[in-house]
Amino acid sequence: MKRAGRHLAAMLAGTLLVGGCGLPDVAGLPLPGGAPSGDGYHVTAEFADVLDLVPQAAVKVDDVTVGSVEKISLSGWTARVRLRIARDVRLPANATAAVRQTSLLGEKYVALDPPATEPPRGRLTDGAVVPLARTRRAAEVEEVLVALGMLLNGGGLAQLKTINEELAKALDGREPEAKDALHQLDTFVGGLDQQKADIVRAVDSLDRLTGQLSRQRDVIGTALGSLAPGLTVLEDQREQLTLALTALGELGRVGTQVVDQSRDDTLASLRAVQPILEQLVKAGDALPKSLDFMLTFPFPPNITGAIVGDFVNLGATADLDAPTILSNLLVATAPAGPAPAATGGAQPGKSNPGTGGKSPTKPPVTTPPLPGVLPLPCLPVGGVLPPGWQPPSGCDLPKGCTLLPPGSVAPPGSLLPPGGIVPPGTVFPPGTVLPPGTALSPGCLLPPATGAVTGRQGGLPDVLGGGLLP
């Protein structure tokens, strides 16, 4: 007993001696836990639970001590741990911190690691804070033992034995089928993994759809409530609807028989109608116009505006312009075909001894000059003017009248005959054919007829001298 008391006193004295000496200075001597001495920088880590972590605990990177815990404080429900790290230790700005244990019953320390879910970036500097989202703690031995006790006592371990035995009985003799099922399951899971993005997109779309439906719940409820009367009516008329559908099916069957039996006759009728339809298509707009004119034949369709009671107001316009009348007579009586050439041409099979085997030259057809408002009678009627054509001698075109070759710039007011055929209203006789693309300058156009009546009187010399124009 005395020896035990002496040992106890020695232990107490040693304890008091250590307490009186105190801890070494962190700037000079090594720190507890093996932390290096010297200059360093400070980092604050936030933890939801620091377990039994104490000041002067080690700070490690890859199980190498690089600093120590200087201070542990509380900010609300969050523990703030101030760490002192050696100056030469470089860590990324998004580093993570965790409270771990050296062994099963060892001391706690703070482990700093690079991020596992994202690439490192930046650098951890003095005064930096590792937020709560990047910190965690390891499981305690007590927690592991409690979980193991729950599993062994009431966690269903006996049920696992029963499940294992029944599963062995079910798979006995069916190993190939089970293996094939596992292969198919692996293929199915692989397909799901490949379509992960599509599945996530579909789930997001379904979430948006359900959100829209949730916001329109009242409208959907009103719509469903409005369907109730209609469903009631359909329920009351179920028998009639059934009979109608049955009758419609019978009608379809009879219609099919009719179509099958009359198919040949129908096709023959359609073939017979085809020529009529083709002629109607060729008629185009002429058919509806003729039907419109048929109702008022022999008068035009606008005759209805002139009917007053049992009278019809009719009006007539007569163009008594003498130059126009003479021009029309000249064109009507002129011979068709190109104008005879000045030198003539040899006719096959005929010769003239007096001219050295050539046919005699026929003089050009000339007519007395008419007023300047008529087409020139000396020009060919109904002929084709070759490229580079020049009027014959004694037949002068009006001043400013030229034939513009194809591709030239036509001045304003020029006329490009459609199809190369000269229309009425020019110095050339109507029907004269020009090379395609040839245009008539404004000087080749005749002044338009106004149809005005002056009411002047005169004799035949006045008519031949220019009509009854003022």
pLDDT at 461 exceeding the cut of 70: no
Angle at 187 between CA 182 and CA 190, to 5 degrees: 120
Q: Is the dihedral of CA 346, 352, 357, 360 positive or negative?
A: negative
182 φψ region: left (φ > 0), alpha (ψ -120 to 50), beta (else): alpha
| DSSP letter for each residue of 104-133 | SS--EEEEEE--SSS---S---TTEEE-GG
Yes or no: say if 52 and 141 are a contact pair by the CB < 8 Å rule: no
Question: Binning pLDDT at 50, 70 and 90, where does residue 117 land?
Answer: confident
Give mean pLDDT, residues 265-291.
86
Residue 391 is predicted with a pLDDT of 80
Q: Are 427 and 397 in contact (CB under 8 A)?
A: yes
- Residue 366 confidence (pLDDT) above 90: no
Three-state SS annotation for 327-380: HHHHHHHCCCCCCCCCCCCCCCCCCCHHHCCCCCCCCCCCCCCCCCCCCCCCCC
CA distance 10 to 2: 12
User: pLDDT at residue 467 above 50?
Assistant: no
Residue 316 has pLDDT above 60, yes or no: yes
Backbone torsions φ then ψ of 144, nearest 5 degrees: -65, -45
Q: Tens digits of per-residue pLDDT, 53-65?
A: 999 999 999 989 9
* Model confidence pLDDT, tens digit, residues 166-195: 888 888 888 889 899 999 999 999 999 999
Percent of the chain whose predicted confidence (pLDDT) is above 90? 29
371 pLDDT above the threshold of 80:
no
| Other CB atoms within 10 A of residue 31 CB | 22
- Rounded Cα distance between 348 and 428, Å, is 31
How many other CB atoms are there within 10 angstroms of residue 167's CB atom? Answer: 11
- Mean pLDDT over residues 275-304, rounded? 79
At 114, the amino acid letter reads P
Treating both helix axes as pointing N-terminal to C-terminal, what angle do 263-283 and 286-294 enclose, rounded to 10 degrees?
A: 80
